[in-house]
């Protein structure tokens, strides 16, 4: 079999080799780089969209948290108001009850004082009546007997003792 000499230039061979490299470049572009890059791009897109979704979810959660905090604050405020209201009501009711009780006590005392006054008056009246009775009796006694100064004095003393 014939061989080329160790250095021999053949333009057709050069052309073939030129075409070979060009074709191989196309092959590598079409069958290696294109599919691999497509898959890598698809993966990047998937990852990006996953990140975007995660960010959106985080933002949403944050918003929920804020809403919840606001709602909680509102609820706390209402509760405070209600408690204050209740405390005020209770105070007012207490004051009312107290004043009513005081009124009633005064009434009772006044009543008692009036009763006592009445009793006193009655007693005075009784005493007066008794005094009148005693004077009447005394007068009767005096009239029965002659009045002497010592008798008189003794009478008065006995009267006073009797009184």
Partner 1 sequence: MTCLTEENRTRGPDARFRVKDRLLIAMMILPLVCCIALKVCFTPESEGVDISGAMIYLTIQGFPVQDLVITESQINSWAIMVTILGFCLWLTHGLTEKAETKRQLAAEWIVEKCENLVSANMGERYAGYEYLVAAIMGLSALSSLSCLIGLFAPTGDVNVTAGWAILVFALVTYTKMQGGFLNYLKGFTEPIPIFTPMNFISEFSLPVSMAFRHYGNVMSGAVISALIGTALRSLSRMVLGWIPVIGSIPLLQIGLPAILSIYFDVFSGLMQAFIFAMLTMLNVSGSFPQEAWEKRQAKKAIRKQRAAMAKA
Contacting residue, 14, 82, 83, 118, with partner 1 by CB under 8 A: 14
Element (H, E) at 95: helix 34-144
Residue 22 binds partner 1, judged by CB under 8 A? yes
Contacting residue, 27, 69, 101, 156, with partner 1 by CB under 8 A: 27
Q: Which stretch binds partner 1 (CB under 8 A): 16-24, 52-60, 91-99, 114-122?
A: 16-24
Count of residues that bind partner 1 according to CB under 8 A: 40
Residue 86 binds partner 1, judged by CB under 8 A? no
Say how far apart CA 61 and CA 91 lie, in whole Å: 44
Residue 53 binds partner 1, judged by CB under 8 A? no
We find the least distance from the C-beta atom of residue 26 to partner 1, in angstroms, to be 8
Say how far apart CA 115 and CA 109 lie, in whole Å: 10
The answer to whether 138 touches 159, Cβ cutoff 8 Å, is: yes
The residues near 149 (Cβ < 8 Å, ≥ 6 apart) are none
Q: Which is nearer to partner 1, 36 or 90 (CB)?
A: 36
Helix pair 149-162, 34-144: axis angle to 10 deg: 160
- The binding site for partner 1 (CB under 8 A) comprises 1-29, 31-33, 35-37, 39-40, 42-43, 46
């Amino acid at each position: 079999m014939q061989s080329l000499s160790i250095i021999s230039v053949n333009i057709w061979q050069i052309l073939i080799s030129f075409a070979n490299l060009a074709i191989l470049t196309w092959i590598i572009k079409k069958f290696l780089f294109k599919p691999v890059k497509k898959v890598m791009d698809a993966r990047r897109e998937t990852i990006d969209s996953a990140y975007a979704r995660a960010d959106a979810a985080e933002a949403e959660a944050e918003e929920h948290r804020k809403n919840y905090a606001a709602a909680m604050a509102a609820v706390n405020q209402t509760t405070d108001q209600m408690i204050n209201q209740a405390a005020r009501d209770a105070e007012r009711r207490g004051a009312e009850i107290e004043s009513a009780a005081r009124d009633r006590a005064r009434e009772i005392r006044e009543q008692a004082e009036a009763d006592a006054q009445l009793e006193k008056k009655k007693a005075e009246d009784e005493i007066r009546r008794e005094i009148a009775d005693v004077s009447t009796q005394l007068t009767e006694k005096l009239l029965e007997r002659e009045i002497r100064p010592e008798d008189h004095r003794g009478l008065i003393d006995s009267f006073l003792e009797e009184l």
